Amino acid sequence: MIWGTVGDEVTDGTELAVAVNGTVATVVPVVAPDPGGRRFAALLADDRLFRAGANRLDLYLVGPDGRLRQLSIS
């Protein structure tokens, strides 16, 4: 399970693609803000996406045309 916050410029319902080691694992919506910020969460249940040691996680904004724009993760 991963979760985080995104900036206010990302509107409610915007889809985010979560990729593990270069493969999109899931697409999740951004939910309405609460006192902690505008949030997202994703369950990454497919063990085949992971490898021993370090794994790379990337987050993408899914545009209306389906194009992916990488977001920075901190």
pLDDT (tens digit, 9 = 90+) per residue, 14-37?
Answer: 999 999 999 999 999 999 999 989
Task: Compute the half-sphere exposure of residue 7: CA atoms within 13 Å on the CB side of its CA.
Answer: 6
Per-position DSSP letters for 48-65, written without gaps between them: GG--SS---EEEEEEPTT
CA-nearest of 38, 8, 43, 14 to 26 is: 43
List the chain domain ranges. 2-71
**C-beta of residue 40 within 8 angstroms of C-beta of residue 71:** no
pTM for the model: 0.90
The DSSP 8-state label assigned to residue 66 in this structure reads S
Q: What is the amino acid identity at position 14? A: T
The pLDDT tens digits of the residues spanning 33-66 come to 999 899 999 999 999 999 999 999 999 999 999 9
In the DSSP assignment, the letter for residue 16 is E
